Structure 1
Amino acid sequence: MSDQAPAALAPAHDAPKVRLGTLTSAEAAARLAAGATVLLPLGSHEDQGPHAPMGDYLSAERISEMIAGRAIGQGHDTLVAPVLPFGGRDFFGSRPGGMALEQSTLRLVLRDMLDGLLRHDFTRLIVVNGHGGNAQAIHDVTQAVLLERGVLIPSFYLWKIAGGLLPELLDPVQARASAGHGADPLASVAMHLFPELMRPDLIPSSPPLPRSVAGLFVSGFGTARFEGVEIGLPIELGDDAVTGDASLCSAETGALITERLVSLGAAFIAHLTNHMAWQDLDG
């Protein structure tokens, strides 16, 4: 009897794997040594409103995989590291079900993640960020890597980029009304990528009225207004988890946002690869 598996049962190798966790160590070593880019998706697990899944890391991971697939199709091998699902602690701790890392912990975890690749001289790394509370830790850790090792690690902040694209993709009036936590861009993206996880029946009919703290109207995450200027307040989010009009969000808008993010992400990988900006900081 032959020891070889029947052809029908042999594993298919036509489509390259994009998730680093699905590669064997031999496959990973070969592709990384050949210059594959590694995306490190970061997200959070927090209140996204009563209508959307708390794990917005799901979108960061899926979009990273789509970026990798697009980049591979354009001739630039790309892999996606396992997503870090817990974001840096910021304004959402008071909401039930959320799980977050202290900022000091996030810095240590992110540095360990990067060092696991850097120790083998795999330096083509991009952080794909899906949470505002991660931004400062990402900056601090990647700046330390640059100063210590001379390795430039860019950060591709999905929702900041997407927020800037809304006026381009939507009617400007709608873009202003739908933008906010629990609304665009995240809600529309989730409607597109994970419609089965959404609860459209729970979408708030309108954003809540601004709450007041110490006689000051809360104007944003950790901010309030006083005589026309913005004041910082060390407060967490209350019951007003939805700050935009989520009723204006749609899977169609999510598809537009996702396509632009994937296109930009793949183009960014191509740009850095072609200019060798990973190591040549003066290029």
Structure 2
Amino acid sequence: MTGYLLKENYFDKAVLPVGSTEYHGEHLPFGTDTLVADSLAQAVSQRVEGMLCLPVLPIGMSRHYASFPISLTLSTETLIHVLKDVIDSLNQHGVRRLLIVNGHDGNIPAIETAAREYRFDHPEMKIASLDSWWVTATELLPKGTFEVWDGLGHAGEGETSIMLNVAPELVNMSKARGHVPSLPKHVGVKWLFKEITPYGVTGDPTKATSEKGILMWNALVDHLVSFIHDMDEAGWTVDKDT
């Protein structure tokens, strides 16, 4: 976008995609999380009036994936500072409604901390986040859409499916192989990724299809667009009566 286009359009809200650069098995690109988050953010901004799509943040907190090749990482503390600085920049320019579209599990604590701490000092800034699109997509689609592990996992059935929609030319299904770890329910074990998979993959990417990916992508975009419209009507408050 040029400065001229910015002047000719009114933006009162923005969407910030946050990704990562890390190993996604032998069948998916390192930028999978970045590509998915960016594609969702761009699609939402194109359908919501007054929403500016910001450049994607391509490196996140991936320390738990560091045993696999070329997994780049920021510390949680660094990511918190980066997010706060971006949020503050928007606030200074009068853009005070922000949707964060996150593409990577390791970013969730930093996003939560940055948003809540910034809002404590600047309550005029309204922030929402799609923390885990992979969980949301499973919840939005009919039960039985996915064959293994509800489509979840790192480079698994769901993530591989959505990549077959977002960037099929970057997916090599001949190299796809999965591993479903035996993890306890209800209590989360703080694993290192090498402890739960020998391949850098969890779930079963061999069950992925572009058709599932299209369903996921459309459901997520539609949901986010509807969410933003509802938030605009409510003045970005969670209780319309206040």
Q: Could you say which TM-score interval applies, normalised by the shorter chain?
A: 0.7 to 0.9
- Is contact 1:123-1:278 (8 Å) kept? no
The reply on whether 1:40 has 2:13 as its aligned counterpart is no
Q: Over residues 149-191 of structure 1, what are the superposed CA-to-partner deviations in whole Å (9 max), with x where a residue is unaligned?
A: 112201112223123335x26446x153643111132111101
Name 2:67's counterpart in structure 1: 94
2:186 & 2:115 partners in 1: Cα distance? Answer: 33
5+ residue gaps, structure 1: 1-21, 211-217, 220-224
- Is contact 1:191-1:198 (8 Å) kept? yes
1:54 & 1:183 partners in 2: Cα distance? Answer: 14
CA 278–36 in structure 1, closer or farther in 2 if over 3 Å, else same: farther
TM-score of the superposition, structure 2-length normalised? 0.87
Q: 1:53 aligns with which of 7, 25, 29?
A: 29
**Greater strand share, 1 or 2?**
1
Name 2:41's counterpart in structure 1: 64
Q: CA deviation at 1:41?
A: 0.4
- Is contact 1:35-1:124 (8 Å) kept? no
CA 265–85 in structure 1, closer or farther in 2 if over 3 Å, else same: same
1:237 & 1:43 partners in 2: Cα distance? Answer: 21
- Deviates most, 234-243 or 89-98: 234-243
1:171 & 1:186 partners in 2: Cα distance? Answer: 13
Q: Partner letter of residue 68 of structure 2? A: R
- Is contact 2:164-2:213 (8 Å) kept? yes
Q: CA deviation at 1:231?
A: 6.8
Name 1:207's counterpart in structure 2: 179
1:130 & 1:159 partners in 2: Cα distance? Answer: 9
Name 2:140's counterpart in structure 1: 165
TM-score of the superposition, structure 1-length normalised? 0.76
The reply on whether 1:152 has 2:130 as its aligned counterpart is no
1:181 & 1:86 partners in 2: Cα distance? Answer: 16
The reply on whether 1:179 has 2:152 as its aligned counterpart is yes
CA 250–194 in structure 1, closer or farther in 2 if over 3 Å, else same: same
Identity of aligned residues (%): 27
2:214 & 2:163 partners in 1: Cα distance? Answer: 10
1:272 & 1:165 partners in 2: Cα distance? Answer: 19
2:190 & 2:103 partners in 1: Cα distance? Answer: 24
Q: Partner letter of residue 27 of structure 1? A: L
- Is contact 1:67-1:262 (8 Å) kept? yes
